[in-house]
Amino acid sequence: MTTAAEQPCYTLINIPSDAEPPTELQLKTDLEKGDVRTKTEALKKVIHMILNGEKMPSLLMTIIRFVMPLQDHTIKKLLLIFWEIVPKTGPDGKMLHEFILVCDAYRKDLQHPNEFIRGSTLRFLCKLKESELLEPLMPSIRTCLEHRHSYVRRNAVLAIFTIYKNFDSLIPDGPELIHNFLEQEQDASCKRNAFMMLIHADQERALDYLSTCIDQLHTFGDILQLVIVELVYKVCHANPNERARFIRCIYNLLNSSSPAVRYEAAGTLVTLSSAPTAIKAAASCYIELIVKESDNNVKLIVLDRLIALKDNPQHERVLQDLVMDILRVLSTPDLEVRKKTLNLALDLVSSRNVEELVLVLKKEVIKTNDITEHEDTDKYRQLLVRTLHSCSIKFPDMAGAVIPVLMEFLSDQNELAAADVLVFVREAIQRFEQLKHVILEKLLEVFPSIKSVKIHRAALWILGEYCTTAEDIQALMHEIRHSLGDIPIVESEMKKAAGEIKDEDEFTPTQQKLLTAEGTYATQSALTSTVKKSSEEKRPPLRGFLMDGDFFVGASLATTLTKLAIRYGELVHNDKKHNSFNAECMLIMATIIHLGKSGLATKPITDDDLDRIALCLKVLSDRTPTVNDIFSRECRHSLSTMLAAIHQEEKENQKTVIEKKTVSVQPDDPISFMQLVNKTEHGTTEDLFELSLLQAVGTTLKKDAADPQASKLQKVNQLTGFSDPVYAEAYVHVNQYDIVLDVLIVNQTSDTLQSVTLELATLGDLKLVEKPSPIILAPHDFANIKANVKVASTENGIIFGNIVYDVSGAASDRNCVVLNDIHIDIMDYIVPAQCSDNEFRQMWAEFEWENKVTVNTSITDLGTYMGHLLKSTNMKSLTPEKALSGECGFMAANLYARSIFGEDVLANLSIEKMIHLGEDAPVQGHIRIRAKSQGMALSMGDKVNMCQKNPPK
């Protein structure tokens, strides 16, 4: 049975759900006797009713007699929609006789003096599928090719194209006619349509035309140039021997004035040729597009194209020569664009251009100091620091030039960049012995100007670890004294406070007489002009931190002083000097403890910090060789081991990347000669234009779906019971940003069901795009209804609804079948992602929504549980494999994933196995999930709970 939903319709019309359906008699009266406005409204209602499945054959002649003769443009446009959807054949399948009159009206409209009516009619003819209606109109359509107005001509070309495609017998000379038209035509849109027809109808003619005008391509409009790019790609893809003939055409289009044409031409050039000149031309074109285009989304898309080029080992060498051009993109203020650009430049940098790269990055660093604080400036500085860090580790010769510039960041208010600088300095001072003196000298120079307590702590550790000469130790001690101020701190602060009170008590205000502008005397007291300066403003940095109650920096200072004292004793063999140095270090530690206990600081000292400082005091008083060795050597050895492990991991990652890039060729592999290869056997087997179209409509299969039918069955949801009058089930197809519900509806009764409507509603960040149209179901018939749902963010969405219908001939109210809820799985939107430990910590501190999930599972092995969790939640473990290996009864790991909408989700896994409960004891512990939005945190928590209930088999 043919239902309304299966009728071909090219126009979507919104039907108001609350409108009362009019009667056929009322519509007939309005169409016959009403004015133009009434007839317009009546015609709209007729269109709505026909779309709902009503036939209304009695109104056909009324509309032909009373509506068609009208010259109103709105009515003419509505009539075109009406003729498109109205049934044109009788029950016997033959054309209705009334359409002879309609056909005559079409012919008159094709000869109408108004170009809008002619063009609209031609557009309508593209939608007709009845050759009997089209045949009498062919002479008039041909005549329209010579009309003075381009709107008519371009629609005439489209009409001829669709008619030739569907019924080539009606216009057998179509390609020749259009070829002649193309040679004489000047309008860009007409030429584009004509050329498009030749591509699909007669490719040889299209190529002949292209050959005659290859040198004039730059004069064509961008819409025609885009079609030419598509033709060249298709021809060269189908017949590789034609590449040499048309490659120059693509080169010419790289200089087009249209960005869209240049982008498509560059992409086509890369797929057609792997010659270095072609790759360089395409890459240069991409770079120009990124620099000149203002839209950040466009910049990111084109950058992805460049990154894809870089991933091909054959093209990487060519792109290395363009690194400096790629760095021009850094002029864009968008952080994401800059991040991708820096990563790309870092991957491409070589010993030939590293000096220039470092020079540009140093200039960028200096530029950020001059920029007034922007929200992304700090993060951009951090990116620059990390890139320079990577450059210096990759090319050690550059470290000497980079370090002095980066040291300036330490005195900056921006903690992010300064912390990264210190991480870099720590690695550089450990790896490059020759730079040690320069780094220490520069670090001591900027030490007094450091404003952040975290940076102070890290700088103290580096200086305490690497000041190995008596001169360096004395220089650092001088800076520490200067940064602490007078000691003991408590007595100094008490005296200062008492001194300020005393000065204020003894102060006697003096008065002086001043002459005002009016010539009168005014008295000013010296007391009123004296501003009491807070002691906090005069405090040195370290003392300021301690007075604010941050005693963790005091514990770090104690460790540093202990190391310095031990090392000083080894270097200076004068007991008097050594004891004096020791005593000063112990005095500083004692005065910090005294301050922490005195109540002068904002917050008292914590027990942990107190224990640490007390331990350091004990070490200095006892001077045990074993403990001395731990402080002076083992710390550095631990750092060295950690850096070696990081370096080894980076090498392994790099090795994996190189292995992926390397194209392995076996000695016995067959050699492909292009001239001898069949079209189907040629390497480029996929048509990129077709592939991109399939991806856009979501019909491509995922590569990992070994059995597509099996994976489809898993996504079928039963919506009603088998005993319901209407049975329904839905296949949920997730296509990136939207969901398509393909609902099968089966009439299980012996009655005809009318106005069967699928009513849907959504919960969460889902939005129904359009309401499905009502249908009619014959007894025991079935139909498919599709509904589109837009997705805006990663949250657990629910789609619920019902099916309402009328039983034919029954006088009862509308019947309703309530549907089961459809739960949308968030895993379709979440992909594993990678981030550094620092980024993880930063996001962990920033994200405000946390969901703590208790582990409740029957799994007995820690590794098995974590593997199951990762597989079920699409998250990636950031904790190295080495750290997770072994059997110790507990496991802690950081997990990370990102949604396709750019939302991050973090998780911290802390699990253990109670050994005393036996081998079969289940895993216990908890998972803390953090996200920026509440929905994301809750949805991921629900997913974790679900995966715990379904352990792996």
Q: How far apart are CA 238 and CA 248, in angstroms?
A: 18
Gap between the Cα atoms of 572 and 477, Å rounded: 15
The one-letter amino acid at 127? K
Helix (H) or strand (E) holding 15: none
The token pair that represents 222 in the structure block: 């961008």
Give residue-wise pLDDT tens across range 391-436: 877 777 777 777 777 777 676 666 667 777 777 777 777 777 777 7
Cβ 176 vs Cβ 152: under 8 Å: no
CA-based nearest residue to 455, from 553, 380, 562, 555: 553
Are 4 and 773 in contact, with CB atoms under 8 Å apart? Answer: yes
Whether residue 326 contacts residue 288, with contact meaning beta carbons closer than 8 Å, is answered with no
CA distance 182 to 191: 6
Helix locations, 4-149, DSSP H: 24-33, 36-51, 59-66, 73-85, 99-110, 115-125, 131-134, 138-144
Query: Higher model confidence: residue 728 or residue 170?
Result: 728
Both tokens of residue 89? 């054949």
CA dist 323 and 312 (Å) reads 16
Would you state the pLDDT for residue 497? 67
Instruction: Decide the pairing of beta strands 890-899 and 830-832.
Output: antiparallel
Report the C-alpha gap between 673 and 803 in whole angstroms.
61
Q: In this predicted structure, what is the pLDDT of residue 835?
A: 80
**What's the confidence (pLDDT) of residue 468?**
77
Q: What is the pLDDT at residue 470?
A: 79
Residue 512 — pLDDT band, cuts 50, 70, 90? very low
Average pLDDT for 367-390: 72
pLDDT at 5: 40
Please state the φ and ψ torsions of residue 701, each to the nearest 5 degrees: -90, 145
Q: Is 688's pLDDT higher than 70? A: no
Q: DSSP for 171-203?
A: -TTHHHHHHHHHHH---HHHHHHHHHHHHHH-H
**For tokens 């050039």, what's the residue?**
269
**Cα–Cα distance for residue pair 117/107, rounded to 1 Å:** 11
Strand pairing report for 753-763 and 775-777: antiparallel
Helix (H) or strand (E) holding 830: strand 830-832
Plot region of 809 (φ>0 → left; ψ -120 to 50 → alpha; else → beta): left
CA distance 780 to 778: 6
Answer whether residue 244 shows pLDDT above 50.
yes
Could you give the CA distance from residue 110 to residue 120 in angstroms, rounded to a whole number? 9
Side-chain-side CA neighbours of 930 within 13 Å: the count stands at 15
Percentage with pLDDT > 70 across the chain: 79
Tally the residues of the chain: 953
Where residue 656 falls among pLDDT bands split at 50, 70, 90? low
pLDDT at 683 over 60: no
Dist CA 181 CA 179 (whole Å): 5
Instruction: Please state the pTM of the whole predicted model.
Output: 0.64
Predicted confidence (pLDDT) at residue 155 exceeds the cutoff of 80:
yes
> Other CB atoms closer than 10 Å to residue 247's CB: what's the count?
18
Peptide bond into 488 cis (omega under 30): yes
Q: State how far the Cα of 834 lies from the Cα of 400, in Å rounded to an integer.
A: 31
Which pLDDT band, with edges at 50, 70 and 90, does 197 fall under? Answer: confident
CA atoms within 13 A on the CB side of 519: 0
Residues 6+ apart with CB under 8 A from 451: 411, 412, 413, 541
Closest CA to 51 of 602, 755, 548: 755
> Could you tell me the CA-to-CA distances from 301 to 289, 304, 340, 823, 901 in Å, in that order?
11, 5, 11, 32, 15
pLDDT digits over 59-91, tens only? 878 888 888 788 888 888 888 888 888 877 777
Are the beta carbons of 568 and 477 closer than 8 angstroms? no
504: confidence class by pLDDT, cuts 50, 70, 90 = very low
SS (H, E, C) 687-724: CHHHHHHHHHHCCCCCCCCCCHHHHHHHCEEECCCCCC
- pLDDT the model gives residue 662: 54
- In the block, residue with structure tokens 């199951």: 868
* Residue whose tokens read 């009170």: 501
Mean pLDDT, the chain, whole residue set: 76
- Percent of the chain exceeding pLDDT 90 equals 0
pLDDT of the residue at 10: 58
Cα separation, 460 vs 422, in Å, equals 11
Residue 777, CB-side half-sphere exposure with 13 Å CA sphere: 30
In the three-class reduction of DSSP (H, G, I as helix; E, B as strand; rest coil), residue 802 is classed as: strand
